[in-house]
Structure 1
Amino acid sequence: MLDSLISGTLPDPDSEGMLSVPLKTIVIGRGLGDEADALVKPLPLGRKLAAVMDPDTRLALGERVSIALRGSSDVDKIILPRHPHPDMDAVRSVIARTQNASGLVAVGSGSINDITKYAAHLTQKPYAVFGTAPSMNGYTSVSAAITEDGLKKSLTASLPVGVFLDLDVMARAPHRLIAAGFGDSMARPTAQTDWLMAHLLIGTPYRQAPFMLLVEDEKALIAKAGDLRTGDLEAMEVLVRTLVMSGLGMTLCGGSYPASQGEHLIAHYIDMRGKGLPEAHHGEHIAVTTLTMARLQERVLALPELQLAPSADTPDRFIEIFGETLGRSCWAAFKPKLLDHERATAINTMLTEQWRSYRERLSRVARPAREIAAALRAAGAPTTPQEVAIPAAFYEEAVANARLIRDRFTMLDVAAASLETVAAGA
């Protein structure tokens, strides 16, 4: 399916045409670091390259990539601090240190990729990425998760001109990173359920295509979850391909909608407000928040009837929760999905007539929380806030307030507005 998508011969389930993505060079294989020069030479990166890495990814792959690239390019190694935070300060630092480069090469995973991607986007320079861990689905997406003015945002960025994922390197990654990638991949059911629900209730545009890309591998990935603990390359290839397809699904949709909904809002709130928490990987948080959303969705879909109350949210409440500057920013982001009396009445009229059919349709794309929990445990991913050192009271706060930080309408909004009490639980 990946080959068909790249070649433009995969039928689009949402139209009569074929699916097409602008990213044409994706290589999943072995020994790619030593082949870096041959892999990169055909790409429009120029011959003055900046290879961006941190101390850990330098050891994992960066040094080999840099040496190989010197076969036909002038390469400047940019070594960021260990565990760089993907914020605008880091992006500006990379921009300043790569002024003379014709193209950028990220060697890393989540943060390194996002920082390099957005720096390349702002400077209109091409970039490629050599992944070092199967920890997230952002290698092939058009978005970068960047914190700006204290608010975690999914910013539109430039696609890489090449993505190179070495299975041997991926399998040698710390298991926490592998489990994080598995956790990120398990967000498909909750993200699809949220997005489809928003489409049904408030008319948010929705596509089936990004989920069709994942159908072939999701069952196999869950079946092989335990094999990811042993470095099994077959299981690793399924995980890597799933993450690649998830990113391409976002690219097809021009945003993170098919892979980032309520579960990501909770995780973003934790990133924004969880000061002093021990370091955790994004996918570890997503594993936990996905399970929370799956349970919440099950409770909503079990309701025989659903009616929503008009929103009582006000700018003053946002300022009380987030402070003046961030509160006003969050209110501006939230306001488009505000349920005033007229909007709530229209939705309730529709729900009175259609809730049964909506429940059936939403249940078909969901996955039972117990199945998600079992798969996460098999892969060694966390399933509770305590496993990622998040205090119970703060996690409850994050679940309650996450809906306030963006305009994405999810089951968090439905639960908050429901005339029936729907508890999320951890």
Structure 2
Amino acid sequence: MDEILNYSMNEMAKASFDCSCGRHHILDIDKLVMGQGVIKELPEMVKGLGAKKVYMLSDNNTYKAAGETAEKLLKDAGFQVKSVVLDSGEDILIPAEHAVGTMFLNLEPETDVLIAAGSGTLNDMVKYMSARTKIPYIVVCTASSMDGYASDGAPLILGGKKISFIATLPYGILGDTDIMKQAPMHMIRAGFGDVIGKLTALADWYLSREMTGEYCCETCVTLVQKALDKVTGSAEALANRDDEAVLYLIEALTLTGVAMGLIGVSRPASGAEHMLSHYWEMEFIARKKYPELHGIKVGIATPIIAEIFEIMGDEIPEAAKKLAPTREYAEGLLKTVGAPVSPKEIGIDRDLFYQSLLDGYKVRDRYSVLDLAVEKGKMQEIAEKITHRFYDED
């Protein structure tokens, strides 16, 4: 029971076990391959599907990072490859109607396998296509920038709003640290911010368990915490692109996805800090402004949510209080890797920030410390206090 806690990252594929939480968990991912130089294993992974015709999606940045190598490896191995490279321009690729439509319009009949050569957006787009076409997909990770590689949700933009569509898990995840450590440092910081967000996400999960009776799996909590400990313990090394630190980061991001896959919900990864991030992103898109990377926003939101846990201390059950980090601790971790800490650093104005604290709990139907603050009639006072600290004390 709970034997998954003793598995290495690459041993977790197809995990199936009776959990101490009382449920039987299954991870429906066939291949997990992480480490140095592992991109050369891609042809063998594709052969495992008995595939002949491959459709690979990348953008102009990720094609240079990994797509070009992946395409050559597959063609040299005898596969028929259609490679579509989307133009992300100067900014990040937005998974809205134009990009998703272009992806589908380029899909050819008799395609056996889909490959996403990229990170967050490309992975989300291809997993959405996989779910709709029933064609299995593989992701070749290009950056340790987010935790969605092993999740079955696909956040896409529809009509200017971010909607998380139910998608599918990949057949295989291939993470070559030689590739990922070369990603822009901003993307590495984004991955670090997404991982740090689990500190408050887990506290929110415990809070909901105590306040609403929501199901909570201790095995999944432990799985995420073990990965968190490795990442927080190697923050200084990550700032120097250390191989082992990059591996710890991608493992933590993937393990969080594994935990989500095991229980079928995103609780191990996403709490109030993600609600603030999504609120900011949707508002930026509505204003036709560049939305900062997801993990950067999550990182900034994490010490803010930690502060709300501290302010609400007398109302927080002890189990959740023990899990919640202090604001100072979360901010210190972000500063260690050079990640932004203030919402002002990414262009969030005072009014948007204040309103996000008041309305962030409405982003999704999930109980969090924001809901508790609203229930206790303290949210406006908290919003005024935190907004004043960021915007009026300089």
Q: Distance in 2 between matches of 1:66 and 1:235?
A: 28
Q: Secondary structure at the match of 1:196?
A: helix
Say if 2:78 is the partner of 1:72: yes
Q: Which residue of structure 2 aligns with residue 48 of structure 1?
A: 53
Return closer, same or farther for 1:378/1:56 CA change in 2, 3 Å cut-off.
same
The one of 227, 232, 245 equivalent to 1:222 is 232
Q: Secondary structure at the match of 1:187?
A: helix
The one of 204, 208, 217 equivalent to 1:207 is 217
Q: Secondary structure at the match of 1:242?
A: helix
The one of 143, 146, 151 equivalent to 1:133 is 143
Q: Is the 8 A contact 1:143 1:255 kept in 2?
A: no
Q: Which residue of structure 2 aligns with residue 14 of structure 1?
A: 21
Q: Which residue of structure 2 aligns with residue 30 of structure 1?
A: 36
State percent identity of aligned pairs.
28
Q: Offset of 1:262 from its aligned partner?
A: 1.0
> Partner letter of residue 96 of structure 2?
D
Structure 1 unaligned blocks of 5 or more = 307-357
Say if 2:388 is the partner of 1:423: no
Q: Distance in 2 between matches of 1:5 and 1:66?
A: 27
Q: Which residue of structure 2 aligns with residue 345 of structure 1?
A: none
Q: Distance in 2 between matches of 1:80 and 1:60?
A: 14
The one of 356, 373, 377 equivalent to 2:335 is 377
Q: Which residue of structure 1 aligns with residue 254 of structure 2?
A: 244
Q: Distance in 2 between matches of 1:393 and 1:39?
A: 49
Q: Distance in 1 between matches of 2:66 and 2:145?
A: 15
Q: Offset of 1:93 from its aligned partner?
A: 2.4
Of residues 365-374 and 183-192 in structure 1, the stretch that sits farther from structure 2 once superposed is: 365-374
> Partner letter of residue 255 of structure 2?
M
Q: Distance in 2 between matches of 1:193 and 1:119?
A: 34
Q: Which residue of structure 2 aligns with residue 286 of structure 1?
A: 298
Q: Distance in 2 between matches of 1:9 and 1:271?
A: 36
Q: Is the 8 A contact 1:288 1:385 kept in 2?
A: yes
Q: Distance in 1 between matches of 2:190 and 2:216?
A: 27
Q: Distance in 2 between matches of 1:369 and 1:239?
A: 22
TM-score, structure 2 normalization: 0.88
Q: Which residue of structure 1 aligns with residue 108 of structure 2?
A: 99
Q: Offset of 1:390 from its aligned partner?
A: 1.5
Of residues 130-139 and 388-397 in structure 1, the stretch that sits farther from structure 2 once superposed is: 388-397
> Partner letter of residue 99 of structure 1?
E
> Partner letter of residue 423 of structure 1?
I
Deviations along 1:390-415, one digit per CA (max 9) or x if unpaired, are 11221121222121232112111111
Q: Is the 8 A contact 2:10 2:33 kept in 1?
A: no
Q: Which residue of structure 1 aligns with residue 245 of structure 2?
A: 235
Q: Distance in 1 between matches of 2:159 and 2:153?
A: 18
Return closer, same or farther for 1:149/1:210 CA change in 2, 3 Å cut-off.
farther
> Partner letter of residue 93 of structure 1?
T
Q: Is the 8 A contact 2:113 2:135 kept in 1?
A: yes
Q: Distance in 2 between matches of 1:142 and 1:73?
A: 27
Q: Is the 8 A contact 2:29 2:172 kept in 1?
A: yes
Q: Offset of 1:36 from its aligned partner?
A: 2.4
Structure 2 unaligned blocks of 5 or more = 1-6
Q: Offset of 1:247 from its aligned partner?
A: 0.6
Return closer, same or farther for 1:92/1:16 CA change in 2, 3 Å cut-off.
closer
Q: Which residue of structure 2 aligns with residue 319 of structure 1?
A: none
Return closer, same or farther for 1:147/1:209 CA change in 2, 3 Å cut-off.
farther
Q: Distance in 1 between matches of 2:233 and 2:160?
A: 39
Largest Rg, 1 or 2? 1
Q: Distance in 2 between matches of 1:396 and 1:142?
A: 32
Q: Is the 8 A contact 2:10 2:34 kept in 1?
A: no
Q: Is the 8 A contact 2:137 2:172 kept in 1?
A: yes
